Amino acid sequence: MHDDRTLVEARLKRVLDERIRPAVYPASVPLDVAVWNAPGEPVPVAEGLAAEPSPTAVGERWGAPWGTSWFRVTGTVPKEWAGKSVEAILDLGFDENMPGFQCEGLVYRPDGTPVKGLNPRNQWVRIAAPAEGGEEVRLHVEAASNPVILDYHPFLPTQLGDKETAGSEPQYKLERMDLAVFDETVWQLVIDLEVLGELMEELPTDSGRRYDIVRAVGRALDAVDLQDVNGSAAAARAQLAGVLTTPAEPSAHRISAVGHAHIDSAWLWPLRETVRKVARTTSNMTALIEDEPDFVFAMSQAQQWAWIKEHRPEVWAKVKKAVADGRFVPAGGMWVESDTNMPGSEAMARQFVHGKRFFLDEFGVENDEAWLPDTFGFAAGLPQIIKAAGSKWLLTQKISWSQTNRFPHHTFNWEGIDGTRIFTHFPPVDTYNCSMKGSEIAHAAKNFKDKGVARHSLAPTGWGDGGGGTTREMIAKAARLRDLEGSATVQWETPEQFFEKAEAEYPNPPVWVGELYLELHRATLTSQAGTKQGNRRSEHLLREAELWAATAAVRSAGFAYPYEQLDRIWKTVLLHQFHDILPGSSIAWVHREARATYAALAQELTGIIDEAQRALAGEGADPLVFNSTPHPRHGVPAGGAGPAAVEGRSTVASREGGGFVLDNGLLRVEVDGRGLVVSAYDLLADRETVAPGRAANLPQVHADFPNMWDAWDVDEFYRNTVTDLVEADEVEAADAVAGGGASVRVVRSFGDSRLTQLLTLTPGTQRLDIDTEVDWHETEKFLKLAFPLDIHAERYASETQFGHFYRATHTNTSWEAAKFEACNHRFVHIEEPGWGVALVNDSTYGHDVTRTVRDEDSGTTTTVRVSLLRAPRFPDPETDQGVHRFRHALVAGAAIGDAVREGYRINLPERRVTGGSEVAPLVTVDDDAVVVTAVKLADDGSGDVVVRFHESRGGRAKPTLTAGFTAGSVAVTDLLERPLDGVNAPELAGDAVTVPLRPFELVTLRFTRA
The residues annotated with a catalytic role in the active site are: 374
Q: Are 433 and 373 in contact (CB under 8 A)?
A: no
User: Which class for 931: exposed (0-12), middle (13-18), buried (19 or more C-beta within 10 A)?
Assistant: buried
Residue environment code for 447-486, b if the CB has 16+ CB neighbours within 10 A, otherwise e: bbebeeebbbbbbbbbbbbbbbbbbbbbbbbbbbbeebbb
Q: Per-residue DSSP letters for 755-794?
A: EEEEEEE-TT-SEEEEEEEEEE--SSEEEEEEEEE----S
- All residues at 6 or more sequence positions from 313 whose CB lies less than 8 Å from its CB, including other chains: none
Pairing mode, strands 176-182 and 28-30? antiparallel
| Cα–Cα dist 954/803, whole Å | 7
- Asked if residues 233 and 110 have their Cβ atoms less than 8 Å apart, the reply is no
Residue whose C-alpha is closest to residue 799's, from 823, 834, 765: 823
Biggest CA–CA distance in the chain, Å, is 103
d(CA 542, CA 848): 29
**What distances in angstroms separate CA 874 from CA 249, 413, 523, 528, one per listed residue?**
48, 37, 13, 12
CA distances to 395, 824, 879 from 385, in Å:
15, 18, 33
Residue 524 DSSP class:
G
Residues 561-597 as b/e (b if ≥16 CB within 10 A, e otherwise) read: bbbeebeebbbbbbbbbbbbbbbbbbbbbbbbbbeeb
Beta bridge partners of 758: 745, 771
The Cα 204–Cα 486 span in angstroms is: 10
Region for 990 from its dihedrals, namely left if φ exceeds 0, alpha if ψ lies in -120 to 50, beta otherwise: left
- The residue type of 913 is V
Sign, CA dihedral 214-216-220-222, equals positive
- For residue 231, CA distances in Å to 23, 26, 198, 228 come to 10, 11, 25, 5
Of residues 4, 491, 473, the one with CA closest to residue 195: 473
How far apart CA 664 and CA 107 sit, in angstroms, is: 71
On whether the CB atoms of residues 393 and 356 are closer than 8 A, the answer is no
836, 828 contact by CB (below 8 A): no
Compute CA distances 1002 → 418, 469, 927, whole Å: 9, 38, 14
- Taking the alpha carbons at both ends of the chain, their separation in whole angstroms is 90
d(CA 886, CA 757): 9
The sheet that has 960-963: what strands, in order across it?
923-925, 960-963, 992-994
Residue 404 has phi, psi (to 5 degrees) of -105, -55
DSSP 559-588: PPP-HHHHHHHHHHHHHTTBTTTTTT-S-H
CA gap 1003, 936 in Å, rounded: 14
